[in-house]
Amino acid sequence: MILEYKILRDVNSPDDIKKLNSDEINILCDELRNEIIEVVSKNGGHLASNLGTVELTVALHRVFSSPKDAIIFDVGHQSYAHKLLTGRKESFATLRQENGISGFMRPAESEHDPFVTGHSSNSISAAYGIYKAKSILDGGSAIAVIGDGAMTGGMAYEALNNAGAKKGNFIVVLNDNKMSISRNVGAMPRAFTKMRNRKGYHKMKFAISTFLLKIPLIGKPVHNFIFSIKELFKRIVYKNNIFTCLGFNYLGPVSGHDIEAMEQLFTIAKSYNRPTLVHVVTTKGKGYAYAENSPKDYHGVSSFDIDKGKDSVSVKTYSDIAGETLCDLAASNKKICAITAAMTEGTGLKTFATKYKSRFFDVGIAEQHAVTFAAGLASGGMVPYFAVYSTFLQRGYDQILHDAAIANVPIKLLVDRAGIVGDDGESHQGLFDVAYLSTIPNVNIYSPCYYNELKKLITDTSTKKELSVIRYPRGCENKNFDGEINGDCTVLSHNGDKAIITYGRIFSNAVEAQKSLENTDVIKLNRIYPIGEEVINLLSRYKEIYFFEEGILSGGIAEHIACRLLKKDFKGKYSVNAIKDEFVGASTIQSALKKYKLDTESMIEIVGK
C-alpha cells in the first residue's frame, strides 16, 4: 500500500518532509489519513484522535528536529502519523498486533519515541524532565503535545506549576478538540490575536527591546516601563488565562489544520527563553465523515468496513451488565450513584448518566480525585460505585489506602478490563490490581466469572458497609456453568486428590479442563481477598494443588495462599501458573492466555502429567 502513495512512499524520516512544498504537504496529509484509516479498519485502534492530529504532527516535524528535539504525545493515541513519519511506515500494518508496533509511543521501537506513553496527563512532566536533561547535556527542545481531555488530569497542572516558574525554551502544545480554554470576545481581541500571532509582530517586539536596552542609563527603565504598560493593557483586553497565571507565554488559538499558521507559532515559540503554550484547535476524526460526526464512537474501534463505518450491532459485555445493574439498583435506592473518570461509554454507564443525571459524576481523567470523591460521597451517606479500568485504577492507590481504607469508608470499585485485555499492550493490561489491592487492609476483592454472578455481587455489596472491589474482564462471558456460586468459594468436586484453583474469567477454562481430567476438583475463589480460613482448610486436604491466576505472580493470590498453606505445614505439591515478572505485550486475549498457560488445553496438559 505504501508504494502506491505519491509522497509518503519517499518519506523515511522527519527531515524528508522539511523539503516538501505546500502542495506536496497537503498530499502527504491526505496519504497519512488514508493509511491510518486503512490499517485501523483492519487492526482496530484509536482512530478519531489520530485523524485529528495529522497536520499538527506534520507541522511539529517541519519546525522541530526529532530526535534532538523530543516530541511526546500524551496518552500516545495521537501518535500514528508520527510513527508513519519516523521510519515505521513499512511496519505500520502490524500496528497493535502480536510482535508488531505499539499503538502508543515506545522508545524500544524508535529513537523518535522519547518516552513510554499509554496513560494520560504525564506528557508535560516527562517532557519537562527531558528538556532539563537536554539543557544540561547536549541541548535541544522538548515538546509535550497534550489533549484537552488529558488536561483534566491533576498531574498536568503539577507539571505546569513546576515548569512555569523557570526560564527556558520548554513548549507545551495544547491539542484542543473539544472546548475553548479562554473565549475572546469582540473585534479588538480578535485583531490583537491576529497581530500577536504574526511572526513580524514578534520580530518588531524583540528589535525594540534590544534597541532600548542598549541605551545607557535610561534604556532599561524605559524598556521596563513600556513593556509593563503593554502587559497591563494585554491583561485588560485578554484577561489572564490559567496558563499565563502559571508563568507560560500563551500563543493561539490557531487552527490545527492550518500547517503554515502552526509553523509560524511553533517558530515563535522556539525563539522564547521562557515556557510557552501553543493552543491548537483540531477536529477529532478529521477527513473521515463517520469519525467526524461521531468522534466518541470512533475514539477506540475494532476492525470495521471503511465504506460502511462501524457495525452498530453489538453484544452485551461485562461493562454493559455492570451499568444495567446499577440502573436497576438506582431505581429503588436514591443513594446509589456512579462515578467515571472520562470513560462513560467504556464502563457501561451511558444509560445511567442519562437516567440519573444528578447521581452521575464524570470527574475527567482524574482517578485519584475520583476515589477520594467517592469516599466523600460515602461519608455523606451515599453508596458510590466508581467504574474504572484496572490499568487506570493504579493511579488511585494512595487514595484507596489513605482516604478510604484507613477509616473503612464503604466505597465500591467496579474494576473493568481486569486481566489480559489484548491489543492495547503493556500499558493497558489489568494484571496488577489484585497484587496491589491485596496489600491494603479492609479491602474486599471479588472476581466474578459470569454475568449473573456480577449482578449478584453488585447488588449484595450495595448494602454492605465494606470497601468492595469487583473486578471483571473485557468482553463477554463464556457461560459453561449453571451451578450456584455462593460463599467465599465454589467447589466442583469429583472427590479427587488434585485441585485446580482459580478465579475470574479463567474459571470457565478450568470447568472445561475438568471434563478431560481424572481425580481432579475445581475450586473457584468468589471472594478472592481476604482469604477465609475455610478455604485454606479445604485446600490442605489435597495432595496436588494447581493455581492458575490471570494476574502478576508477585503479590498475587497464589502467593498469599502458598504462605498460608506453609503455615499449615502443607506437604503436597503446589504449582502456580501466573504472569512472571514481565509486561504482557499486544496480542489477542486468547493468544496471550495460551502463551501464559492459562487456557483450557494448558490446564489439561499441566494437571494431567
User: Residue 202: pLDDT above 60?
Assistant: no
Alpha-carbon torsion, ordered 295, 298, 304, 310, to 10 deg: -60
User: 600-605: which pairs have CB atoms within 8 A and are 24 or more residues apart?
Assistant: 600/509, 600/510, 600/512, 600/513, 602/577, 603/500, 603/509, 603/510, 603/513, 603/546, 603/548, 604/513, 604/516, 604/517
Length of the chain equals 609
User: Residue 34: pLDDT above 80?
Assistant: yes
Helical pair 318-332 and 451-461, crossing angle rounded to 10 deg? 40
Mean pLDDT, range 327-342, rounded to an integer = 97
Write down the residue that cell numbers 493455581 correspond to: 547
Pick the more confident residue, 495 or 326: 326
User: Residue 188: pLDDT above 70?
Assistant: no
- Are 222 and 211 in contact by the 8 Å Cβ rule? The answer is no
Q: What is the pLDDT, as a whole number, of residue 195? A: 41
pLDDT digits (tens, 9 = 90+) for 205-217: 556 666 666 777 7
| pTM of the predicted protein model | 0.88
Cα distance between the two ends of the chain = 49
Q: Which of 172-186, 290-304, 387-401 comes out lowest in average pLDDT?
A: 172-186
Positive/negative CA dihedral, 344, 349, 354, 359: negative
pLDDT digits (tens, 9 = 90+) for 86-100: 999 999 999 999 999
- Are 127 and 144 in contact by the 8 Å Cβ rule? The answer is yes
Query: What is the DSSP secondary structure assignment for residue 68, as one 8-state letter?
Result: T
| 3-class DSSP assignment, residue 138 | coil
The Cα–Cα gap between 525 and 390 comes to: 19
- Are 409 and 443 in contact by the 8 Å Cβ rule? The answer is no
User: Residue 378: pLDDT above 90?
Assistant: yes
Q: What is the pLDDT, as a whole number, of residue 582? A: 94
The Cα–Cα gap between 326 and 320 comes to: 10
Q: What is the pLDDT, as a whole number, of residue 213? A: 65
User: Residue 492: pLDDT above 50?
Assistant: yes
User: Residue 232: pLDDT above 80?
Assistant: no
User: Residue 331: pLDDT above 70?
Assistant: yes
Residues labelled as active-site residues: 284, 367, 395
* Helix and strand numbers, DSSP H then E, in the chain: 25, 19
pLDDT digits (tens, 9 = 90+) for 51-86: 999 999 999 999 999 999 999 999 888 999 999 999
Mean pLDDT, range 536-565, rounded to an integer = 97
Mean pLDDT for the chain overall: 90
Pick the more confident residue, 210 or 50: 50
Q: What are the residues whose beta carbons fall under 8 Å from the beta carbon of 356, sequence distance 6 or more? A: 327, 330, 336, 337, 338
Q: Provide the residue type at 80 as one letter.
A: Y
User: Could you tell me the pLDDT band of residue 346, with boundaries at 50, 70 and 90?
Assistant: very high
Q: Which of 13-27, 153-167, 537-551 comes out lowest in average pLDDT?
A: 153-167
User: Residue 181: pLDDT above 50?
Assistant: no
Q: What is the pLDDT, as a whole number, of residue 221? A: 73
